[in-house]
Chains A and B, each alone.
Chain A
Amino acid sequence: MTESTDLTRMTAARLASVVATGDASAVEVAQAHLDRITAVDAAVHAFLHVDTAGALAAAGAVDAARAAGGAAALGPLAGVPLALKDVLTMEGIPTTCGSKILEGWRPAYDATVTRRLKEAGVVILGKTNMDEFAMGSSTEHSAYGPTHNPWDLTRIPGGSGGGSAAAVASYEAPLAIGTDTGGSIRQPAAVTGTVGIKPTYGGVSRYGLVALASSLDQAGPCARTVLDAALLHAVIAGHDPLDSTSIDLPVPPVVEAARHPDVRGMRVGVVRELTGDGYQAGVQQRFDESVALLEELGAEVVEVSCPHFPYALAAYYLILPSECSSNLAKFDGMRFGLRAGDDGTRSVEEVMGRTRATGFGDEAIRRIMLGTYALSAGYYDAYYGSAQKVRTLVTRDFAAAFEQVDVLVSPTAPTTAFKLGAKLDDPLAMYLNDVATIPANLAGTPGLSLPIGLAPEDGLPVGLQVMAPVLADHLLYRVGGALEAAMLDRWGAPILDGAPAL
């Protein structure tokens, strides 16, 4: 494989070494990506805001640090550009969460993830498009228009982090940050042919991540390779005293695992409930091939049953709206953001009602109403209470499965990228996209999606999901890295090389 000299085609790992050795300056790297954004983002619409000046300044600082202290002064991702999902705050930079209600809001503080990226010398190019407040699986619920899948601009890039996945897939950035509440990192990765990881809940700080469902949300890396994702994971993960749910333990050895991928002797479980019916033929086919490949690579593959996974989707669509109905209550037009209908005669109750009805899109309103209902006196036990019990059952399923196997695998999403608009008016059909990714959010366990080929029927990327026990995030990288290497071997080039030029 010949290595490209196009800076935008390089992996993050290679860019970091190019910057460290001085073969290219961080400013050159940043400029190349900013130029790429200028060239293709009108078609892709991955970004809601591009911070050209800030990115060049950050890159300049990396170059200055290298000039002063040499390569040793630089962190492993110094000078590497990144696209930040617009649900994480960044001081002075607009943060909209894809919603009208936050239009123009510039936070006075960095999310912990943002701060860690800045401290590592990662160059933040801008903020990426998303379904409003991360509610959706297609990025069509953004108040600022949809993002387009680089493989086929008429198709969805997944969601809610479609902007982050599309930015990475279209070579606008080698790295991106996503957030995953029910699959919003993994499902976009699957349909764009990229790599995405939801770390163990509590592994990455939620401080500055505008909450959708606090007990499910988790930020994580988006990249084009497993190693790049691991490098980014290591930068953003770790204990944060500002987040009470943050785990005060060492970060799992993810980079080490990605550098030494090996599945020999590993026990891999195929989740019976996450295959077969409902999965597109080409998705199932590529998945089956990958499972066979894992066996070839020395893994012991068994089928595992997780009998309560079929209830996970329903539980999720009660827990998430419940938490979100409360989390989104603060958007009332009093302290920040949009205020509508304040004509001097209307009461605060009326102005809040108008602000929220105007500022929130249909899906946000749908889920706020659903959650309000599920938490209401008289319905709590049947809905929210039962959903929390299902959460227990799903967690027990994982625990039982991990007694038998080291990791679980499934297709990441039931289908390849569908057409923009195809499911927009059918919430239930839309919700089904996350059927395989949701169990990990309910249990707090980590999950990874990596590309495993194109579906024969439509030529679109298919993703495989790897799931591991809590705090065994490194196992995802071991398995993901091994599969990635074997496929590269088999195809001779990364999957993304098959994507059309934009």
Chain B
Amino acid sequence: MTHPTDPLMRWDDVLAGFDPVLGLEVHVELGTQTKMFCGCRTEFGAAPNTQTCPTCLALPGALPVVNAVAVESAVRLGLALNCSIASWCRFARKNYFYPDMPKNYQVSQYDEPIAYGGWLDVEVPTPDGPRIHRIEIERAHMEEDTGKSSHVGGETGRIQGAEYSLVDYNRAGIPLIEVVTKPIEGIGALAPELARAFVGELRALVVALGISDAHMHQGSLRCDVNLSLRRTRVDELGTRSETKNVNSLRSVARAVRYEMQRQGALLEAGGRVVQETRHWHEDTGVTTSGRSKEQAEDYRYFPEPDLVPVAPDAAWVEELRSALPEMPADRRRRLQADWGVSDLEMTAVLNADALAVIEATIADGADPAAARKWWMGELARLANERDVELGQLGIFPADVARVIALVEAGTLTDTMARAVVDGVLAGEGSPDDVVTGRGLQVVGDDVSLLAAIDEAVAANPDVVEKIRAGKVTAAGVIVGAVMKATRGQADAARVRELLMAKLGV
């Protein structure tokens, strides 16, 4: 797909001439059983319009009732983000017409968010090593998601040029928490990585809290990037663009970088940045102009009269605070120390999103080094091959721990262990099922091995001669023959040992 390409400024020139001002708005779709204001299911991927009711379809007369777990999740996330929790706050209606929003207003929070004024420390890689940067949180508020439109006719799937659209309201009314940062300034070249790190850290936090699966590719965590440039040493804020729905960590960094280069080129050419919504295109790595906000939408917010105020009890808030799980950063530090790995190795684990599975594998009895080796090596390769996340690969940490145990006990060779993993992924059952089913076992009986060695020695007198003469590498031929004879089930190291003992070298 092609898009009109904007001229871009060289990265170094952007940094030389401008300071970026970054703002991030992250929508977290909660993993509640039901929607924000009705009892409809929230399952992803259900048949269209099968998870709707009069309330989330906005049929006349229907009324909303707030999901208690959504409120609790919002308070917990607010606390984890070091926010103050409002002692009293209201929902508000944000009024605008759009076909994927049944009521033609979104129930959100306006000037009374449930959580406000917090911070989140994130770690960004710099040439001088990792640096902790504190991101100030403006607010975290509760709201509801919209439905989903698909566009028919015209260029495939695009809204522009479509003949009509089809709307599925299954997603309409799913609870969201919107986390909004304060403007992040004075970060220069770090902006892209900082944006990525923030979204990544928030995602880890949300997962640690257990309030969302935070699958960016399914849209359960979505990021809007607000970016403006101001000329270095000029105390005047630039106009910002708002890039919507940047839905992977990598894209967050790319979108920031792209917008910096686009706005830099525009400003340098004497142009003007328009305050507008832009769309991020994952495929081409560019942003394009969406709806212009110049004729400013007037959302006509007012307190939602169908819902009563939320007044979290102070004691309850403290109870939730004391029950917060370990924060992701603390957990990472603890695990890194436990496993004894370097910063670099830890970064690799995090980038592979392997922390949780490795931790679980170790909890199931595996040695930390072995667990890391499996997940970062063979399993990462398989996940990559199949284009899924590690967690979605289809093998549980307990299975991996069992495979590692079998290798350590000498029951499986590495080669056999990989075959066992293949078997598990192919749905052949547990590692033990696969071992039995495929007849994969190191032949532990030296007697049968010696018989095979005798045969191989008898068949290769010339090779035996070479070994006896000191050419030890030639032993590979005999070992190979034995392995072939045992269909690969022998432990090659043991075969070599027995052979050497037999030949007396």
Contacts and interface: CB of A to CB of B under 8 A. Distances in A.
Interface of A: 88-89, 95, 97, 102, 105, 107-109, 111, 206-211, 213-215, 241-245, 322-323, 325-326, 329-332, 334-336, 344, 348-349, 352, 372, 375-377, 380, 384
Contact of B302 (A102, A208, A322, A331): A322
B58 interface: yes
28 contacts: A88-B61, A89-B60, A97-B60, A102-B60, A105-B60, A107-B60, A108-B59, A109-B62, A206-B63, A208-B62, A210-B61, A244-B307, A245-B305, A245-B306, A245-B307, A326-B93, A330-B58, A330-B60, A332-B99, A332-B104, A335-B58, A335-B102, A352-B97, A372-B300, A375-B300, A376-B298, A377-B296, A380-B300
Contacts of B492: none
Contacts of B95: 325-326, 329, 375
Interface of B: 54, 57-66, 93, 95, 97, 99, 102-105, 163-165, 167, 296, 298, 300-302, 305-308
Contact of B306 (A214, A331, A376): A214
Contacts of A89: 60-61
A107 B59 contact: yes
Given A208-B61, A335-B59, A108 B54 contact: yes
A103 B243 CA distance: 42
B105 A326 contact: yes
B342 to A, nearest CB: 54
Contact of A329 (B105, B305, B307, B308): B105
Contacts of A377: 296, 298, 300
Nearest to A371: B300
Given A109-B54, A211-B306, A241-B65, A329 B60 contact: no
Nearest to B165: A348
Contacts of A109: 54, 59, 61-62
Contacts of A244: 63-66, 306-308
B99 A348 contact: yes
Nearest to B49: A335
Contacts of B57: 335
A405 B63 CA distance: 36
A146 B66 CA distance: 39
Contacts of A384: 302
A384 B95 CA distance: 15
A207 B62 contact: yes
A480 to B, nearest CB: 29
B302 A329 contact: no
B302 A334 contact: no
A404 B54 CA distance: 45
A376 B302 CA distance: 10
Given A211-B61, A344-B163, 7 more contacts: A95-B60, A207-B62, A209-B61, A242-B63, A243-B65, A245-B305, A329-B95
Contacts of A243: 63, 65
A330 B306 CA distance: 15
A97 B61 CA distance: 11
Nearest to B307: A244
B52 to A, nearest CB: 10
A48 to B, nearest CB: 15
Contacts of A213: 305
Contacts of B296: 377
A315 B64 CA distance: 26
A77 B239 CA distance: 67
A384 B303 CA distance: 11
A97 B59 CA distance: 13
A243 B65 CA distance: 7
B90 to A, nearest CB: 12
Contacts of B164: 344
A124 B305 CA distance: 30
A242 B105 CA distance: 20
Nearest 4 A/B pairs, CB to CB? A329-B104, A375-B300, A214-B305, A215-B305
Contacts of B93: 326
Contacts of B102: 330, 334-335
Nearest to B55: A242
Given A329-B104, A348-B99, A348-B165, A323 B61 contact: no
A202 to B, nearest CB: 9
Contacts of A107: 54, 59-61
Contacts of B60: 89, 95, 97, 102, 105, 107, 210, 330-331, 336
Contacts of B66: 244
Given A207-B63, A210-B60, A330-B58, A323 B305 contact: yes
Contacts of A245: 305-308
A329 B61 contact: no
A101 B488 CA distance: 77
B61 A334 contact: no
Contacts of B58: 330, 335
Contacts of B308: 244-245
Nearest to A388: B303
A244 B55 CA distance: 13
A207 B61 CA distance: 6
A89 B301 CA distance: 28
A332 B98 CA distance: 10
B300 A336 contact: no
Among A108, A332, A376, chain B packs the most CB atoms within 10 A around the CB of: A332
Contacts of A331: 60
Given A214-B305, A332-B104, A326 B61 contact: no
Contacts of B59: 107-109, 335-336
Nearest to A348: B99
Contacts of A206: 63
Nearest to B98: A348
B55 to A, nearest CB: 9
Contacts of A105: 60
Given A105-B60, A107-B61, A330 B104 contact: yes
Contacts of B64: 244
